């Protein structure tokens, strides 16, 4: 893969900050080959590239990206119309071509996350990255839909956890505080530039 195209912010346009991208890379490398990596919400593919890079450097786990792009009825609660822009999906495809995704390493599902989860027949998911609709109810619904497919040692990463009014942490707490999750050991990565924006919540399934 073209590492420069993945790691250069001017080439890989997106909203996921470098620290979270690097963490996704490291986590993706840890996922066993017999498990899957699932990304909910991709925009122009910045985080997708980092997940693919990590998987390739690690055990070769398959990456599935799920995003409706402009098929969704409304933009995310951020209020920005750019996620629904007709050219966003084209920009994602162009970026995947630019980074040179190896054959068989990546699947793209153009649909809502819960819709894909309902029909999921793939491998257990060892890493779930959520950067889809940012409301407490939407996060809860996505996590509940995917929880049955998560591996016993799964890691869940949710982007934009630093903005309380979006409810990412609230939605995650409804699901990931149950038995079987290490909520007390959760990690919150704050964005250095603006701690009340972006950031990520990382929660592991407990043994």
The answer to whether the beta carbons of residues 48 and 76 sit under 8 Å apart is no
pLDDT (0 to 100) of residue 193: 81
For residue 130, the enclosing domain spans: 3-204
pLDDT (0 to 100) of residue 196: 78
pLDDT (0 to 100) of residue 84: 60
Determine the distance from the C-alpha atom of residue 48 to the mean position of all C-alpha atoms in its chain, rounded to a whole number: 8
CATH number at residue 112: 3.40.50.150
Helix (H, G, I), strand (E, B) or coil at 51: helix
- What one-character-per-residue DSSP string does 158-189 give? EE-TT-GGG-HHHHHHHHHTSTTB-GGG-EEE
Identify which of 191, 205, 1 has the alpha carbon closest to the alpha carbon of residue 95.
Answer: 1
pLDDT (0 to 100) of residue 79: 46
Give the tokens for residue 5: 């195209």
Rounded CA gap, 145 and 98, in Å?
32
- Does the pTM surpass 0.85? The reply is yes
Strand ranges (E), 31-100: 36-40, 62-66
Per-residue pLDDT of the chain (207 residues; tens, 9 = 90+): 999 999 999 999 999 999 999 999 999 999 999 999 999 999 999 999 999 999 999 999 999 999 999 765 554 444 455 556 678 999 999 999 999 999 999 999 999 999 999 999 999 999 999 999 999 999 999 999 999 999 999 999 999 999 888 999 999 999 999 999 999 999 999 888 887 789 999 999 996
- When divided into structural domains, the chain yields a total of 1
């Amino acid at each position: 893969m073209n590492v420069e195209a993945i790691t250069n912010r001017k080439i890989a346009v997106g909203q996921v900050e470098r620290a979270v991208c690097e963490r996704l890379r490291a986590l993706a490398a840890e996922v066993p080959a017999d498990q899957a990596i699932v990304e909910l919400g991709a925009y122009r593919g910045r985080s997708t590239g980092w997940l693919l890079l990590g998987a390739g450097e690690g055990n070769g786990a398959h990456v599935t990206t799920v995003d409706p792009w402009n098929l969704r009825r409304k933009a995310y609660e951020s209020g920005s119309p750019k996620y629904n822009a007709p050219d966003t999906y084209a920009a994602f495809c162009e970026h995947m071509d630019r980074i040179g995704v190896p054959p068989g390493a990546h699947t793209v599902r153009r649909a809502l996350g819960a819709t894909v989860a309902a029909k999921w027949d793939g491998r257990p998911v060892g890493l779930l990255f959520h950067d889809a609709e940012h409301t407490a109810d939407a996060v809860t619904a996505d996590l509940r839909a995917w929880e049955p497919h998560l591996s016993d040692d799964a890691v869940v990463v949710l982007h934009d956890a630093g903005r309380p009014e979006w409810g990412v942490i609230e939605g995650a707490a409804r699901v990931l505080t149950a038995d079987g999750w290490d909520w007390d050991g959760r990690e919150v990565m704050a964005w250095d530039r603006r701690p009340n924006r972006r950031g990520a919540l990382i929660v592991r399934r407990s043994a």
